[in-house]
Every structure is written in structure tokens, then in C-alpha cells.
Amino acid sequence: MKIDHQGETPPYEQVRVHYAHAISNRELPVGAKLPTVRALAKDLGLAVNTVARAYRELEEAGLVETRGRAGTVVSANGDSNRERVRAAAAQYAAMAAELGLSSQEALEIVRAALRP
């Protein structure tokens, strides 16, 4: 992972997105151990608090869990969260079809909802 220190995306967000993608793509399986906050901060040339914030946000999203001295690992909740989102997407798709929305219209609504 490389951090773009000149980019518009804050470093903690770059770390969070990197791990969120790796977990959602199953490049990091359930139970995989993440580097310690201090080790990753040193490797990336970041402040410890920057990496800690990224890990905290991953934990709040249910993608990782911190097990004290055992470290931070990929959580099994990530799979159940993904399944909940899939179920919600299926419900949304059914509702959109029932209401006569085209696929394009339905996707535009989702894109708008995902914008910050």
C-alpha cells in the first residue's frame, strides 16, 4: 500500500479504503491479522493516530475486531454485513421494478444516496 501524501484524500481514509476493499474482495479472509498500528504507521510514514483512526473506523463498520494483545483481525461480521446489504439491495431492486423504474433510474438513485 502506498499513501498519496499530496492527494485530496486524507491518509487515514486511504488506509481505511485499502483494508475495506481487501476485506470485501476477500483478499484478507476472516481471521486474518492486520499489522499493528505502530508497525503500519512506521511502514507508511504516518502518525500512529492516523492509522489508529483508520482501524477504529474499520471496527465501527464491523470489518475488523480488536482482540487486545492478540491484535486486530478481520471480523466474521464483515460477511454478515455484506449479506445484509445484498438482501437490502434485492429488496430495493424488487421495489424499483414494482414501481416501474428502469435499471438506470434505480442505479442513479443509489449513486445519489451514496454521495457524501
Verify that 90 and 44 share a domain, yes or no.
no
Q: Which of 82, 26, 80, 16 is nearest to 46 (CA)?
A: 16
59 and 110 co-located in one domain:
no
Helix (H) or strand (E) holding 58: helix 48-60
| Residues 64 and 17 placed together within one structural domain of the fold | yes
Query: Of 104, 98, 43, 100, which is closest to residue 34 (Cα–Cα)?
Result: 43
One domain, residues 22 and 61: yes
Among 83, 76, 67, 48, residue whose Cα is nearest residue 15: 48
What is the pLDDT, as a whole number, of residue 47? 96
Q: Specify the length of the chain in residues.
A: 116
**Domain interval for residue 36:** 11-74
50 in a structural domain: yes
Asked if residue 49 has pLDDT above 70, the reply is: yes
pLDDT at 68: 84
97 and 70, same domain (yes or no): no
Higher pLDDT pick, 16 / 79: 16
